[in-house]
Amino acid sequence: MNKAFTKENDAADDGDDDLPGLPPLPAGTRNYMTPQGYRMLREELMSLLDVERPKIVETVSWAAKNGDRSENGDYLYGKKRLREIDRRIRFLTKRLDIAEVADPSAHHGSDQVFFGATVTYANAKGEERTITIKGIDEADNLKGEVSWVAPIARALLKAREGDEVQLMTPGGLETIEVIEVRYPAPPGATPQA
C-alpha cells in the first residue's frame, strides 16, 4: 500500500479525539471547570488507564492466542473497544491539560454573575428559569446546567441582580432580567440560617 494513503488515514484518525456531542472549546481559551468537574474527568481517566484498558488488553491477548483472528469475536470487539478507550484517554488528557479550575465558592455572597453561578432569571413574559454555569465537559442540561460558552451564559456573565440583558434567541432578541445570583458556600463555612 502506498505510504501517502497511510499518512492520510493516520491524520484523519487524529481528528477523532473530539467526541461527537461535545462542543469544541473556543480557540485560544482555557477549559474552565469546577473542582468537582475536574475531579470527575480525572477519575474517569484514571479508571480507563488503571482498570478498563488493562482488562481489555488481557482479553485481546487471550483471544489472539485462540487462532484465526478474522472470525474471533472477542478479538475483534476487544480491538474496537481498545480504540474507543484510547480515543477517550487522548480526549480526556487534552482537556485536563488545558483545564483551568475555578472554584465558584470564591464568589460566595456576590450578586454578580461569574463562572459557577446559579442564576435565576425571568423573560419578558415573567417566566422564571434557574441555571448553573459550568464547564463544557461537565454541564448537564437535564440538571439545569449550561456551559459557560452557551449563549445564555455569555449573556448573563458579569450581570448583577436586577440587571436586564439582551439574549439572541431563534425567535429574535429577548430581554431577560437577573432575579437572583447564588454561589456555593466555601468549604468549611458554617451554613447561614
pLDDT over 50 (residue 160): yes
Q: Where are the beta strands (DSSP E) in the chain?
A: 31-33, 99-101, 118-122, 128-134, 145-147, 164-169, 172-182
Q: Which residue, chain included where needed, has cell 462542543?
A: 23
Q: Please check whether residue 146 is in contact with residue 131, taking contact to mean a CB–CB distance below 8 angstroms.
A: yes
Residues 83, 129: one domain?
no
Across the chain, mean pLDDT equals 85
Q: Residue 156's closest CA among 147, 146, 165?
A: 165
Residue 174 belongs to a domain:
yes
| Residues 23-33: tens digit of each pLDDT | 677 777 778 99
Buried-state track 43-57, b at ≥16 Cβ within 10 A, e below 16: ebbeebeeebbeebe
pLDDT higher at 111 or 3: 111
Q: Do 53 and 92 lie in a common domain?
A: yes
Query: What domain range is 177 assigned to?
Result: 104-182
Asked if the model's pLDDT at residue 154 lies above 90, the reply is yes
Please tell me the total count of domains within the chain: 2
| Angle, CA of 144, 149 and 150, to the nearest 5° | 45
- Mean pLDDT calculated for residue range 116-130: 94
Residues 94 and 148 in one domain: no
Query: Model's pTM, two decimal places?
Result: 0.76
* CATH, residue 45: 1.10.287.180
Does 132 fall in a domain? yes
Q: Is 149 helix (H, G, I), strand (E, B) or coil?
A: coil
Is the pLDDT reported for residue 193 higher than 60? no
- Final residue belonging to a domain, choices 39, 73, 101: 101
**Residue of higher predicted confidence among 95 and 7:** 95
Tell me: do 119 and 174 sit in the same domain: yes
